[in-house]
């Protein structure tokens, strides 16, 4: 194989609960992750010169060893003694630092790409172990679909497929540091937590109401205080026919769940024309 094209899909958090802070500084979490059909395009090909070259459509995105895609490719080349060079055309659609795992999904795609491009026969289990070395979300981005994520994110349990719905994702014009959000989370005084077990039951029953009524993201207790626009977007979505709306990951992206395609597109249009969010996307659920 000379070249390969891969879609690196975004994720949203149907639930996000933080259980405790560990002695190593990480946090134990319990969350339900869901892949959506918003994706970056990763085009990879072999080149003669033994180097890693990355080009991207975003001028501010690093293309050297600061980039997760570069790090993963470098590791695989060294581990498997690959002397052939690799060129990557990374076309970004998922907004950067948005709580949508764009960088992690790109890295997962690069890992899959290297495995196929060089016929390495790396198992999914081993790819997940490699991915976890570079980011807690990468193993999930390899698995994809609907999954329960525990530990620091590395313990994954596939769940029943999410019902077929429309998703509107809105990212306001702010940037949030994941480390800062977790650092400011007061775990002992969280009052509203998602009911993850009820969501799992809802997934088993295909009951969208049960799923949406039990969603939650405890990190909103930090971000909404500092950035009220997040709560405003959630409220705006619920006022415009969303069955559920919440922040994804550590933010600042907010997503809304819609049964009706027309309602989803109408909301997206309103968000754009009223300049409520900088980036607005309408997409669908991706199941394995």
**pLDDT, position 199:** 98
Q: Where a domain ends, among 125, 158, 191?
A: 158
Asked if 73 and 142 sit in the same domain, the reply is yes
CA nearest to 11, candidates 89, 98, 88, 114: 98
* CATH number of the domain where residue 122 is located: 3.30.230.10
Sequential pLDDT tens for the chain (288 residues): 899 999 999 999 999 999 988 877 678 899 999 999 999 999 999 999 999 999 999 999 999 999 999 999 999 999 999 999 999 999 999 999 999 999 999 999 999 999 999 999 999 999 999 999 999 999 999 999 999 999 988 899 999 999 999 999 999 999 888 888 988 898 888 989 999 999 999 999 999 999 999 999 999 999 999 999 999 999 999 999 999 999 999 999 999 999 999 999 999 999 999 999 999 999 999 998
What Å distances lie between residue 262 and 166, 227, 240, 285, 287, CA to CA?
Answer: 9, 29, 11, 16, 22
Asked if 105 and 224 sit in the same domain, the reply is no
Catalytic residues: 11, 137
Number of domains in the chain: 2
**pLDDT, position 56:** 98
CA nearest to 215, candidates 176, 185, 257, 160: 257
d(CA 110, CA 26): 26
Sign of CA dihedral 30, 31, 32, 38: negative
Cα angle value 93/97/100 (rounded, 5°): 65
**pLDDT, position 22:** 80
What Å distances lie between residue 250 and 8, 178, 274, CA to CA?
Answer: 20, 6, 24
Is the bond leading into 95 cis (omega within 30 degrees of zero)?
Answer: no
Q: Where a domain ends, among 117, 135, 158?
A: 158
Strands of the chain (E only): list them: 3-21, 27-47, 52-56, 85-91, 146-151, 155-158, 166-171, 216-217, 244-247, 254-258, 279-284
Q: Where a domain ends, among 136, 158, 180?
A: 158
**pLDDT, position 7:** 98
How many CA atoms, within 13 angstroms, populate the side-chain half-sphere of residue 262?
Answer: 0
- 40 is written with which tokens? 């970056």
Instruction: Please give the residue range of the domain that contains residue 199.
Output: 166-284
Sign of CA dihedral 195, 196, 200, 202: positive
* CATH number of the domain where residue 179 is located: 3.30.70.890
Cα angle value 5/102/82 (rounded, 5°): 50
């Amino acid at each position: 194989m000379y070249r390969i094209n891969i879609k690196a899909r975004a994720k949203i958090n149907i639930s996000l609960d933080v259980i405790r802070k560990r002695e190593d500084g990480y946090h134990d979490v319990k969350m339900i992750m869901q892949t959506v059909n918003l994706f970056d395009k990763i085009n990879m090909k072999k080149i003669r010169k033994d180097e890693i070259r990355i080009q991207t459509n975003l001028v501010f995105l690093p293309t050297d060893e600061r980039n997760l895609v570069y790090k993963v490719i470098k590791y695989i080349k060294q581990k498997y003694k690959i002397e052939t060079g690799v060129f990557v055309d990374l076309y970004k659609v998922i907004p950067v630092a948005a709580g949508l795992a764009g960088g992690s999904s790109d890295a997962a795609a690069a890992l899959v790409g290297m495995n196929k491009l060089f016929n390495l026969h790396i198992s999914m289990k081993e790819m997940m172990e490699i991915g976890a070395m570079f980011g807690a979300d990468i193993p999930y981005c390899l698995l994809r679909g609907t999954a329960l994520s525990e530990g620091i994110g590395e313990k994954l349990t596939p769940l029943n497929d999410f019902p077929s719905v429309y998703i509107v994702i809105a990212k306001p014009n702010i940037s949030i540091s994941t480390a800062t959000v977790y650092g400011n989370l007061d775990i002992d005084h969280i009052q509203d937590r998602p009911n993850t077990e009820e969501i799992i039951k809802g997934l088993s029953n295909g009951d969208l109401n049960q799923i949406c009524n039990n969603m939650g993201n405890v990190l909103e207790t930090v971000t909404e205080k500092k950035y009220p626009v997040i709560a405003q977007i959630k409220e705006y979505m619920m006022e415009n026919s969303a069955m559920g709306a919440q922040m994804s990951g550590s933010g600042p992206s907010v997503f809304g769940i819609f049964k009706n395609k027309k309602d989803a597109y109408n909301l997206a249009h309103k968000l754009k024309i009223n300049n409520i969010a900088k980036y607005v996307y309408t997409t669908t659920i991706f199941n394995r």
